[in-house]
A and B are shown apart, each in its own frame.
Chain A
Amino acid sequence: KAGVTQTPRYLIKTRGQQVTLSCSPISGHRSVSWYQQTPGQGLQFLFEYFSETQRNKGNFPGRFSGRQFSNSRSEMNVSTLELGDSALYLCASSLAGEAGYTFGSGTRLTVV
């Protein structure tokens, strides 16, 4: 079966713009989580959505937001981009939030 699919794979944006990243979880998975990976901070949890509701949230500013649709697909939005937002953004899914999430290949965002 198909894995976690993230689009686009690469993105270049200008400081001050906003961006939307998309994630399609494994079919049947209802929990979707987002992570930011940078060389300096490593992997950090952004938020989790389950059945269209945000269930957990990490320590990121309000510029980072997300949503989940009824088909479990999720989007992440970052507004007023800063240079420090340049990172690999990873999406992960699981059936119902149990241990052992499956990750996608990520979207590499570069802010110039």
Chain B
Amino acid sequence: GDSVTQMEGPVTLSEEACLTINCTYTATGYPSLFWYVQYPGEGLQLLLKATKADDKGSNKGFEATYRKETTSFHLEKGSVQVSDSAVYFCALSDYSSASKIIFGSGTRLSIRP
């Protein structure tokens, strides 16, 4: 079945460092891809999404490009802030069942001032 694999955490960076969180997926169809973020004690917030190959999702300085050839959707940010500390989830949903989102295991990101 469909699945998502993302890099293990925790990831600790200094403020203003560059961030990359790797994510690869396995899917039989043409999924939509997402990054969700979860702050302590909160639910999930949709950070960005891409619905077809070569699409780039972006939001709040974060970017991810839907790479069908490498089945990847890596999250990147050029300069992280302390406020970016959270758990990040890569996810996919199939076009025929958009409600059934399959999540990766999450990557905890901590930013030092």
Interface size, chain B (Cβ < 8 Å): 23
- Tell whether, in the assembled complex, residue B105 and residue A99 are in contact, meaning their CB atoms are under 8 Å apart: no
A55 to B99, CA, bound (A): 9
- Tell whether, in the assembled complex, residue A42 and residue B103 are in contact, meaning their CB atoms are under 8 Å apart: yes
Contact residue among A6, A42, A48, A99 (Cβ-Cβ distance under 8 Å from B106): A42
Using a CB-CB cutoff of 8 Å, which residues 1-34 of chain A contact chain B? 4, 6, 31, 33
Number of residue pairs spanning A and B whose beta carbons lie under 8 angstroms apart: 64
Contact residue among B44, B49, B51, B99 (Cβ-Cβ distance under 8 Å from A31): B99
CB A93 to nearest CB in B, in angstroms, measures 10
CB A10 to nearest CB in B, in angstroms, measures 10
- Tell whether, in the assembled complex, residue B97 and residue A56 are in contact, meaning their CB atoms are under 8 Å apart: yes
Point out the residues of chain B lying under 8 angstroms from A4, CB to CB: 43
CB A41 to nearest CB in B, in angstroms, measures 10
Main secondary structure of the interface of A (DSSP, over half): strand
In the assembled complex, A90 has its CB within 8 A of some CB on chain B: yes
Question: Which residue of chain B has its CB nearest to the CB of A45?
Answer: B100
Contact residue among A90, A101, A104, A106 (Cβ-Cβ distance under 8 Å from B99): A101
In the assembled complex, A68 has its CB within 8 A of some CB on chain B: no
In the assembled complex, A102 has its CB within 8 A of some CB on chain B: yes
Q: Which residues of A contact B (CB under 8 A)?
A: 4, 6, 31, 33, 35, 42-43, 45, 48, 50, 55-56, 58, 90, 92, 94, 97-106
